[in-house]
A and B are shown apart, each in its own frame.
Chain A
C-alpha cells in the first residue's frame, strides 16, 4: 500500500459546481497536510496548509482533515474554468524540517 493514495481523475465538472478532492494515507505520524495546485508544465503552488484534524477555509477553498479515518479533502465552491489544474495533496510528520510525501494528483477540468 502506498503512503498516500489519490485518484488521478480526470474529474470533469461544469462551471459553478462544488468540487470534492480527496486523499487517503496510511502513516499515522502525518500531522501537517497541504494541498497544492499545479498547472500544466508548471511547479506546484501552495493552496492550503492545515494541522491535525478539522476544517480550514480560505475563500472558495475548504480543507478538511479527518485523522481518525486518515482522510483529507479539499472542497472548491463555485468552481471556475481557471481552477482547471492538477491538485496534489502532500503531508508531513513534523512542523519543522521534514520531507513532504505527495499524492499523485487529481486532474480537475471545469468546463464553462
Chain B
C-alpha cells in the first residue's frame, strides 16, 4: 500500500515557540492531504484539507493563522503550529490521497506534540 511519513515523530517545545511538522507521500503523488488532531481517547478531528498549490481549507473552529499549512508539492505538506501553547499539545496525524475511484486516505504515523 501507499506510504505516508511524518517528521518529527515527537516534539517537545516551550510555550510561545513555533513547530513545523512535515508530511510526505513516499511512493505516490498526493493530490490532497489532510491534517487531523487527536486528543487522548478521542476521535480524529479534521483540521484542514490542502490541495497542492492551493490555500488550505480549514474546518470550523480551527484558526488558520495559528495552524499554517503549506502544500508546496505533490509529495509534501507542512503544518506549522505558531506560538504554541500547552493546549495545543496533541497527536497530529496527516493523511494523503491520490484520488482515484475511492479517494482512499493513507495515514502517516503521527506526530506527538508536547508544549511545556
A–B Cβ pairs within 8 angstroms, 9 of them: A43-B95, A44-B107, A46-B1, A49-B102, A95-B101, A97-B97, A100-B46, A100-B105, A104-B43
Q: Does B99 reach chain A (CB closer than 8 Å)? A: yes
Interface string of B83-116 (1 = CB under 8 A from A): 0000000010101010101111111111010000
Contact of A43 among B32, B43, B97, B110 (CB under 8 A): B110
Interface string of A25-69 (1 = CB under 8 A from B): 000000010001000011111100100000000000000000000
Q: Is the CB of A41 within 8 A of B103?
A: no
Q: Is the CB of A43 within 8 A of B108?
A: yes
| CB-CB under 8 A for A8 and B41, given A42-B110, A43-B110 | yes
Interface residues of A (CB under 8 A from B): 4, 8, 32, 36, 41-46, 49, 88, 95-100, 102-105
| CB-CB under 8 A for A99 and B46, given A8-B41, A43-B4 | yes
Interface residues of B (CB under 8 A from A): 1, 4, 6, 32, 34, 41-44, 46, 49, 91, 93, 95, 97, 99, 101-110, 112
Q: Is the CB of A95 within 8 A of B109?
A: no
Q: Is the CB of A98 within 8 A of B103?
A: yes
Contact of A104 among B42, B95, B106 (CB under 8 A): B42
Contacts of B104 in A (CB 8 A): 46, 49
Contacts of B46 in A (CB 8 A): 99-100
Which of A36, A44, A96, A100 gathers most chain B CB within 10 Å?
A44
Which of B41, B44, B91, B112 gathers most chain A CB within 10 Å?
B44
Q: Is the CB of B41 within 8 A of A43?
A: no
- Chain A residue nearest in CB terms to B10: A41
A96 to B102, CA, bound (A): 6
Contact of B32 among A8, A49, A97, A102 (CB under 8 A): A97
Contacts of A97 in B (CB 8 A): 32, 97, 99, 103
Q: Is the CB of B44 within 8 A of A44?
A: yes
Smallest beta-carbon distance B62→chain A, Å: 13
Contact of A95 among B91, B103, B106 (CB under 8 A): B103
